[in-house]
Amino acid sequence: MVSLPLDSKKLTEITSINLIQQINCDLILTPLSPEPIPTTYVCQRTEGTPIVLLHGFDSSLLEFRRLFPLLVEANQTWSLDLLGFGFTQRMVNLSFSPQEIKTHLYYFWKTLIEKPIILVGASMGGATALDFTLTYPEAVKKLVLIDPAGLTNPPILGKLMFPPLDYFATAFLSNPRVRQQISRAAYYDKSLANSDAQLCAALHLQCPNWSQGLIAFTKSGGYGSFKQQLPNLKTETLIIWGENDQILGTKDARKFEQLIPNSQLTWVPNCGHVPHLEQPKITAEKIIEFSLI
């Protein structure tokens, strides 16, 4: 059973309600800990190559609430909460570094899927997807990057994450007004940053050790630049980018296309940093078309 925050009952959008009702939790045994890690995910087991969706920074699988139901019409689709994020349990003996996130993701794949996947990563999830694919190319049939991170060096913020500054930082990020401002910046159509969207973006903050997990990830340095490794990426890659991205801008879209040998770039019009939320139908069509090539 998955123990979800009580505020989940306040969700109003049908896609949010449907997705949260599908959340499962499995114990994933990894080399990271003698104890298995309770890991939350959703999956609809239809035919086709498995599609696995990876959310962004300080987010959860609910980020794919509008995209998920469109993908399951054609493919087996998974979305999971990465280690240290979402509703996956934050065990106190882990640092939640990119290395540990990648290892946990590999053993999730090995335990529950164990065949080549179409890996889809959005924002920080794009950096996670790149890291995973570069390390485990045999597990990834095709790669989809949605406005991904992965071309900049880690921020110096991690060096400053010591008490009490670390808790001040997470208290700042947990402020509803701050989160609403971030949410609005991610959208081209600001009306989509509504109360349901804000609740979806904040539910996981009510999980045990959210603050400690975010601090641990930030102290690890987070994801840096994959610029040197990208020319070695052999996996066929689709880059999807919102034409009006105000979070990462648009210059990196062309850089990713130039650096990844077997890649194609497609733009989503009238869209900010989150095409999977703002233009889910277009995004799904592009992913499904790419999966069939």
Residue 161 confidence (pLDDT): 46
pLDDT tens readout for residues 170-212: 777 788 888 899 899 999 999 999 999 999 999 999 999 999 9
Residue 4 confidence (pLDDT): 85
What is the average pLDDT value for the chain, to the nearest integer?
Answer: 92
| Residue 112 clears pLDDT 70, i.e. is over it | yes
Mean of pLDDT values over 80-100: 95
pLDDT tens readout for residues 116-127: 999 999 999 999
Mean of pLDDT values over 68-95: 94
Residue 16 confidence (pLDDT): 97
The domain of 140 spans 6-292
DSSP codes joined into one string, 239-260: EEEETT-SSS-SHHHHHHHHHS
pLDDT > 90: what percent of the chain? 80
Cβ contacts of 286 within 8 Å, gap of 6 or more: 238, 240, 266, 268
Residue 165 confidence (pLDDT): 52
Number of independent structural domains in the chain: 1
**What is d(CA 293, CA 289) in angstroms, rounded to the nearest whole number?**
7
Q: What is the CATH number of the domain that holds 225?
A: 3.40.50.1820
Mean of pLDDT values over 212-223: 90
- The two tokens of residue 189 are 């159509």
Is 104 contained in some domain?
yes
- Closest to 147 (Cα-Cα) out of 22, 286, 20: 286
Active site residues per annotation: 123, 245, 273
| Residue 233 clears pLDDT 50, i.e. is over it | yes
- Amino acid occupying residue 141: K
CB neighbour burial string for 255-283, b if at least 16 within 10 angstroms, e if fewer:
ebeebbeebebbebeebbbbbbbbbbebb
Is 274 contained in some domain?
yes
For residue 25, with 0-12 CB atoms within 10 Å meaning exposed, 13-18 middle and 19 or more buried, which class applies? Answer: middle
Q: How many CB atoms neighbour CB 198 within 10 A? A: 16
Is 265 contained in some domain?
yes
Residue 94 confidence (pLDDT): 87
Is 157 contained in some domain?
yes
User: Regarding predicted confidence, which is higher, 255 or 220?
Assistant: 255
Is 18 contained in some domain?
yes
pLDDT tens readout for residues 131-168: 999 999 999 999 999 999 999 876 655 554 445 455 56
| Residue 93 clears pLDDT 90, i.e. is over it | no
Residue 48 confidence (pLDDT): 80
Is 1 contained in some domain?
no
What distance, in Å, lies between the first and last C-alpha atoms of the chain? 38
Residue 74 confidence (pLDDT): 81
